[in-house]
Amino acid sequence: TGKGWMSEHLVQYQGFWLSPKGLNNLMWIQHHFKPRPSDIFLASFPKTGTTWLKALVFATVNRTRYGFSDHPLLTANPHDCFPFLDAYLHENDPSFLELDASPTPRLLSTHLPYALLPDSMIVNRSSSCRFVYIYRDPKDVLVSKWNFLSKLRPKELPPFSLEEAFELFCQGISHYGPYWDQVLGYWKASSEFPENILFLKYEDLKEQPLAVVKRLGEFLGYPFSLEEENKGVVEDIVKLCSFENLSNLEVNRKSVHKFSRDSLVDNRHFFRKGIVGDWKNCLTDEMIKRLNQITSDKLFGPGLLFDN
Ligand code: A3P
């Protein structure tokens, strides 16, 4: 075991770090979850853009169901429209029943590394369920995560320093980490099964949201028609899911999200700055050098690079 970011003990399981609760959830999924061929999974390491991508996938898949003036994303946090498979599904939890009754395609998300997914979810030649994976410059992931967890940290605990967070992150000790190993697992799977696993980068989404959303539509089996494109539907989705729009909605300023019976998070904490390169304002030259080195050692081979 190792001491986690929130002072709780994380356990190492098959090379990855999970909280004891996360491990229980994994066991639950292994034994009880039955994927359907139409399922759409969003996989990510925490703080890589999960909330944003949930909104984009939800809006893309459901675009004929809802109008843009009374869209669910205007009154609900994206996490409430797109549940976490590994965060709040327990055998006796009513959400388990909702999962069975939820409409097709089911939208489910996970922070689990690909190697820990149950066999029933692993992609093979005959599977038709789809995964969208998002990754992000680890320097921004670290900064985002440290800010997020500092806000959630119980007041009675001493503040958690960036130096401490940095050290643990570099050693791979963080929920669902090591980060680089998680990225590599999904990358390998996506290069073997590109029709089932779409590999996206937060920085590309920031730079070219329209192109990425069009690709998302096509990949998920909901391609945008020429008529839709001419009507500006892709632009409308990008606008609806923009940082400015989502972070300013009342639901994301005032309400909380219930991840599980005992974990509540203010919706506003999912929206901080939403930019590329905030690490430049927070990390020392030494930290930058060390993180870049780990990243190039691990991800240079597959060509998963970032602007330094
Ligand atoms: P920052 O802390 O760098 O601002 P996750 O959803 O995986 O927890 O990731 C959270 C990160 O995504 C935060 O990054 C958050 O601000 C950013 N984010 C949330 N919504 C976004 C949006 N609509 N557009 C761009 N970034 C967004």
pLDDT > 70: percent of the chain? 93
Contact 177, 45 (CB under 8 A): yes
Contact 190, 198 (CB under 8 A): yes
276 phi and psi angles, rounded to 5 deg: -95, 130
Q: Environment class of residue 259 by beta-carbon count within 10 Å: exposed (0-12), middle (13-18) or buried (19+)?
A: middle
Helix, strand, coil percentages for the chain (3-state, nearest 5): 50, 15, 40
Bigger pLDDT: 179 vs 103: 179
Please provide the DSSP assignment of 122-180 as one string. S--TT---EEEEEE--HHHHHHHHHHHHHHHS-TTSPPPPHHHHHHHHHTT-STT--HH
The pLDDT confidence band at residue 87, using thresholds 50, 70 and 90, is low
The pLDDT confidence band at residue 195, using thresholds 50, 70 and 90, is very high
Find the 32 Cα to ligand 1 centroid distance in Å: 31
Ligand 1 atom showing the smallest separation from residue 148 Cα: 2
**pLDDT tens, position by position, 124-147:** 888 889 999 999 999 999 999 999
Q: Whose CA is nearest to atom 10 of ligand 1?
A: 47
85 has pLDDT over 60: yes
Q: Which of 31, 79, 90, 111 is catalytic?
A: 111
Q: Whose CA is nearest to atom 3 of ligand 1?
A: 144
The pLDDT confidence band at residue 157, using thresholds 50, 70 and 90, is confident
pLDDT at 36: 92
Ligand 1 is surrounded, with C-beta below 6 A, by 44, 46-52, 140, 144, 147, 241-243, 246, 270-274, 278
The pLDDT confidence band at residue 1, using thresholds 50, 70 and 90, is low
Among 5, 52, 86, 143, say which to mutate for ligand 1: greatest number of ligand atoms within 8 Å of CB.
Answer: 52
pLDDT at 8: 64
Find the 102 Cα to ligand 1 centroid distance in Å: 26
- The pTM of this model reads 0.95
Helices vs strands, H then E, count in the chain: 15, 9
pLDDT > 90: percent of the chain? 67
Bigger pLDDT: 59 vs 159: 59
Enter the ipTM. 0.99
Residue 32 annotated in active site = no
**pLDDT tens, position by position, 274-293:** 999 999 999 999 999 999 99
Q: Whose CA is nearest to atom 26 of ligand 1?
A: 274
